[in-house]
Amino acid sequence: MAETAALAHVNGLRAARRSPASHLAEAFAAGSVPGTVTLKEIPYQAMVGIRVERTSDAGTRLASVAGGLPATCGEVTGTGSVNALWLGPAEFLIVAPEESHDSLGGSLIGDLTAALGADEGQVVDLSANRTTFELSGSRARAVLEKSCSLDLHPRTFKAGTALATEIGHIPVVLWKTGEETFRLFPRASFADYLGRWLVDSMREYASPEVP
Amino acid sequence: MLLISCPNCGPRDETEFHYGGQAHVAYPENPAALSDREWAEYLFYRDNTKGAFAERWVHSTGCRQWFNMLRDTVSYEIQSIYRMGEPRPDAAPAGTATITTSPEGAQK
Ligand SMILES: [Zn+2]
């Protein structure tokens, strides 16, 4: 009963939330070139930071909740909507839909916390730490290549890979979710900067190509 | 721009890393037993090597892990990258001597 009331209260507050790049939604829409490159924010994804030795007992338990924990740099584990990204040898980022957050009726964070138990490690709710940008289209890679030093050619950077790196001089986790689709995770305070930076980088593709 | 091979992530641009100074400076076994001079030397005194130098780096915007690097301070050539806790590999004798040309910017 009390839980239901608490949930109703939280849901009442949801309308007042502003995502880190909500003020750029119009700019993203105006700067997108359908069929060539589009940019949008996917706000409020649930994110959980995990620090654990993945081969330990706690690591095994956490992996069973998260649908796996990646073993190497670039690897992404998970099936469907809950995924684990490799951030370091013992550091991972779980990315899941908003609804999986405990405050919205889900149980992701509680389940992960219970899986860690009293063992060595961390489970931290980082849902408000980063927002998500989705950059997609035939020119998405070209937009990123202007300010990311990684080799983004598909022979090297394959769909299903995520790397922590720098884009536009700021730290960003870059996840290639499809052949022409990238998800970028900037920290909330960098969302405005990175959003404007990407819109700027997309601008040339709105004009006809100069032969 | 150096291209640094992180032991966890592979080659990345130098801008993703931060420098951590000289490697293999052991924390004193018993800091309280040190004189002020010895403590100051532990804290502030570092080698100023011309040639192969063992130093610490951290992959700040990648895996956030520290590692060691053996780098030639004249040519900037990275001779070895090895994990924290591993001993310093033998420095390649070439590069440490017979430097006849001035490095870029050294004339200032
Ligand atoms: Zn690294």
Q: What is the pLDDT of residues A16-64, one digit of tens each?
A: 889 999 999 999 999 999 999 999 999 999 999 999 999 999 999 999 9
State the pLDDT at residue B98: 39
Domain ranges (residues) in chain A: 22-43+131-211, 44-128
Does the pTM surpass 0.90? The reply is no
pLDDT at residue A136 tops 70: yes
CA of B2 to the centre of ligand 1 (A): 15
Q: Which tens digit of pLDDT belongs to each residue from A112-128?
A: 999 999 999 999 999 99
* B15/A149 touch (CB, cutoff 8 Å), yes or no: yes
Say how far apart CA B91 and CA B69 lie, in whole Å: 11
State the pLDDT at residue B106: 38
Please give the average per-residue pLDDT across A132-161, as a whole number: 97
Please, which residues have CB within 8 angstroms of residue B6's CB and are 6 or more apart in sequence? B12, B17, B59, B62, B63, B65, B67, B81
Say how far apart CA A79 and CA A97 lie, in whole Å: 13
**A22-43+131-211, CATH topology level:** Gyrase A; domain 2 (3.30.1360)
- Measure in Å the smallest separation between the Cα of B56 and chain A Cα atoms: 18
CA of B5 to the centre of ligand 1 (A): 8
Q: Which tens digit of pLDDT belongs to each residue from A74-100?
A: 999 998 899 999 999 999 999 999 999
In the CATH scheme, what is the homologous superfamily, with its name and number, of domain A44-128? Heterotetrameric sarcosine oxidase (3.30.70.1520)
pLDDT at residue A181 tops 70: yes
In the CATH scheme, what is the homologous superfamily, with its name and number, of domain B1-26+47-86? Folate-binding superfamily (3.30.2270.10)
Q: Which residues of chain B have pLDDT under 50?
A: 94-108
Q: Choosing among B3, B9, B66, B83, which should be mutated to test the A contact, i.e. which has the most A CBs within 10 A?
A: B9
From residue B98, alpha-carbon distances to A46, A90, B101 in Å are 58, 44, 9
State the pLDDT at residue B93: 53
pLDDT at residue A5 tops 90: no
* B61/A149 touch (CB, cutoff 8 Å), yes or no: no
| CB nearest B61 (choices: A89, A91, A164) | A164
Identify which has the larger pLDDT, A106 or A7. A106
Q: Which residues of A touch B16 (CB under 8 A)?
A: 165-166
* B63/A164 touch (CB, cutoff 8 Å), yes or no: yes
State the pLDDT at residue B65: 97
Q: Which tens digit of pLDDT belongs to each residue from A155-168?
A: 999 999 999 999 99
SS3 state at A47: strand
Q: How much of chain A, in percent, has pLDDT values that exceed 70?
A: 95
Tokens of A2: 């009390």
* B65/A89 touch (CB, cutoff 8 Å), yes or no: yes
Q: For residue A106, what pLDDT band results from cuts at 50, 70 and 90?
A: very high
Please, which residues have CB within 8 angstroms of residue A90's CB and are 6 or more apart in sequence? A51, A52, A53, A54
